[in-house]
Structure 1
Amino acid sequence: MNGPGHTKQQSTIWQDEATRLAYAELANVFYAREIPGLSAEPDPARLQRRLNSLPYYVERAATHIVLGEVPLELDSHNGCWLAKQGKCPQWQAEQTQAYYANQATVGLVVPVLVVDGGITSLYLDTLDQSRDGLWHCNQFGWFDNSGKAHGDDEYAQLPATRYLLKPSKALMTAACCGHRWQYHKMLPPRTLGLREMLLASSINWPNVRKKQQRK
C-alpha cells in the first residue's frame, strides 16, 4: 500500500488544484456512500474487517479514477461517470457464444445485463474462473458461453434474469454510468458502488475485449 508507486501517485495528485479537489470530492462521496451499508452489517467481526479496509479502498478508488484514463466525463462531486444514454441493450446469444468460447480471458472486466422487476440495468463484473464451457463472474456467478446464467443454490439470492454480454464500448460506457431502462424507457441512473467505480478504471478502453495490461 505504501510502496514507491503509491508515493509517486500521491505526489502527482497534489501537484495541481483541480486534481486535488477531484480526489477530495471523490473520497468524501465514497465514504458517504459506503458507511450506511456498513451500519447494517450484523456480523461484528466482518464489520471490523470492512471498516479497517475501507480507507484503503476509498483511497485506491479515488486515486485510480483521478489518475486513470477513463474516456468519460467525471462528476467528482457526485462520484459518478456521465455519458449520453442509448437504447436498452439486448442479449445476443450467437455473438456472445462466439466471443466467450474463443476470445475471453480470466481477469477481463465484463458487462452483465440484469432484469429485475421490469427494470433492465447494466453492471460491471470480472471473469475470475472458467471451466467446462462455463464462465464465473465475481459477483453474478456462473454463465455459459452464450451468456445465459447457469444458476444453482449458491446463487439463489441473485436476480433470476441475468446475462453476460459481449463487451463493447457502448455497453461498458452504459454500465459505468449506471444506465437503466424500464420497458425500454430511460430511467435515472443507478449509483455505482466503490467496487464498480474501481472496475471502470480497470477497463482497457482502447480494446474493451482485452484485459488491461498493468504498467
Structure 2
Amino acid sequence: MVKQNISDTKQSNLWHNEHERLQFAELVNVFYAREILLLAKQYNGEQLQKKLLSLPYYVERAARHISQGDVPLELDSQNACWLAPQKKAQPQFNEQNNKSFYSVHTPVGLVVPILVNNAGYTQVVMDSIDQVRDNAIHCNQYGWFASSGLSHQSDTKLLKPTKLLMVCACCGHRWQYKKVVVPRVLSLREMLLASMINWTNVKVPKLRPH
C-alpha cells in the first residue's frame, strides 16, 4: 500500500473543487498584470522594488479570499471583478441617517461605503475603519470623518453601510451627470476588502478565523 504524502494531502484540501482552483489561477494572473502596470506608473527605483517584493503575498491572499469566500455576487474571474445589476438612481448622502448610525456603531475593522465625486463621476468606494476618537471616525485610506459622515479633509462622504451600497462599491458602479456609466475596475486592495464584508449583516465586522 502506497502512503500519501502528508503535505500533498494538506495541499489538496486547500481547494474544494476544480472550479475554485481555476478561479484562483485566473484571479492571480489578472491581479499580477493589473498591479504591475499600476506600480510601474506610480513608483520607481527602490520603492518599486519593495512593492514588487510584497506583491505576491497580497495577490495570493486576495485571490484565495475571493475564490474561497462567500461574497453573494457573480464573480468574473477572467477580469477579476464582481458583477451585479446597477441601479439607475445614484446614492444620496443623508447626514441624519449617518449620524444616528455612527454615533452608536463605530467598530474598528468595519468595511464602510464612501461617496466620492471626482471628475464628474459619482461612485461608492470601500474603506475600513481603523480608529475611533472624540466622536470622529478614521478610515484607512480616506482619513477622518465626523459621525455625520462629513470628511475633515475633503469632499468625500462616509455613508451608513447597507447591502445595496456595498454591492455598488464591490461592482465599481458609477454615475455621470446622474446617468449610469461603465463600471470602474477595482484595485487589488478593494477586491480584498470586498471579501472582508460581513454579508449576513453589513453593519458589523466579519469574524476572522483564528
TM-score, normalization by structure 2? 0.91
SS at match of 1:122: strand
Q: Find the partner of 1:93 among 95, 103, 106.
A: 95
Name the structure 2 match of 1:175.
169
Opposite residue 137 of structure 1, the aligned amino acid is: C
Distance (whole Å) between structure 2 residues aligned to residue 42 and residue 29 of structure 1: 20
Distance (whole Å) between structure 2 residues aligned to residue 212 and residue 63 of structure 1: 17
Given the superposition, is the C-alpha separation of residues 10 and 53 from structure 1 closer, same or farther in structure 2, using an over 3 Å criterion?
A: farther
Given the superposition, is the C-alpha separation of residues 180 and 49 from structure 1 closer, same or farther in structure 2, using an over 3 Å criterion?
A: same
Unaligned runs of 5+ in 2: 1-7
Name the structure 2 match of 1:103.
105
Task: Look at both structures and tell me which one has the larger radius of gyration over its CA atoms.
Answer: 2
Opposite residue 155 of structure 2, the aligned amino acid is: T
Unaligned runs of 5+ in 1: 1-6, 152-159
Given the superposition, is the C-alpha separation of residues 30 and 183 from structure 1 closer, same or farther in structure 2, using an over 3 Å criterion?
A: same
What pairs with 1:196-211 in structure 2 (closer than 5 Å)?
196-211=190-205
Does the 8 Å CA contact 2:59/2:188 hold for their aligned counterparts? yes
Structure 1 stretch displaced more, 139-148 or 13-22: 13-22
Name the structure 1 match of 2:187.
193
**Identity of paired residues, percent?**
54
Alignment RMSD (CA, Å): 1.6
Does the 8 Å CA contact 1:116/1:161 hold for their aligned counterparts? no
What is the CA-CA distance between 1:104 and the residue it aligns to? 1.9
Given the superposition, is the C-alpha separation of residues 212 and 9 from structure 1 closer, same or farther in structure 2, using an over 3 Å criterion?
A: farther
Say yes or no: does 1:54 pair with 2:55.
yes
Does the 8 Å CA contact 1:104/1:209 hold for their aligned counterparts? no
Name the structure 2 match of 1:128.
130
